[in-house]
Structure 1
């Protein structure tokens, strides 16, 4: 795992909205035998960007936040169901669920709604 350490040189009102500066990085093996030439944060950063672009509660410096943890958990569950079962990914040309062999078709939102328990609606 590559963990980047970010910080700011000075904490003044003028630099409040400025991006943080990378102060260093730590490398640690969590499990397995990773190829150190291919250790990268690109996949995690891409996922973070996709989430921020798809859900307002993850955009930066906004008031679109979850007021309750339960609402936040439900929003994440819906996002990941849509992301993995409904959204065709450009590089895969299918959904991740189809690529993994979990599903044989692209789901529509009605199928996700059908998974909800009647008393939870």
Structure 2
């Protein structure tokens, strides 16, 4: 029995460059499985078919888009926090959008829901 590593989508050179590895390196699935678990525990429509399932693909996509915005702009991630020792605060909480330089603060739900996307 053996495991065969095969990239299904994307250019292998770009993927290995993004991962910071070479073609002989092992590509683990831990990152993909971690985000899958986060999605399943955060969105009831991904758990099982029941009261919360999406009746149309359009609504399913909208629910997932809202989850992504919440996850990246509102929810502080413990692994991204910075240690500071200023008075009572020991940690500076950050979101993925803050780490990427997209925003400089943790958004509120009201701010997210009322944000107007600029027309390009």
Q: TM-score, normalised by structure 2?
A: 0.68
Aligned partner (choices 8, 30, 44) of residue 56 of structure 1: 44
> Which runs of structure 2 are paired with 1:1-121 in the superposition (5 Å)?
24-28=3-7, 30-32=12-14, 33=16, 34-35=21-22, 36-59=24-47, 61-63=48-50, 64-93=52-81, 94-115=94-115
Shift of 1:113: 1.2
Shift of 1:24: 4.7
Q: Deviations over 1:32-81 (max 9, x none)?
A: 3433435110000000000000000111x441310011111110111000
RMSD: 2.2
Q: What runs of 5+ residues in structure 1 fail to find an aligned partner? A: 1-22
Shift >4 Å, 4+ stretches: none
Q: How many Å separate the matches in 2 of 1:103 and 1:116? A: 15
Change (3 A) 1:100 1:107: same
Q: TM-score, normalised by structure 1?
A: 0.68
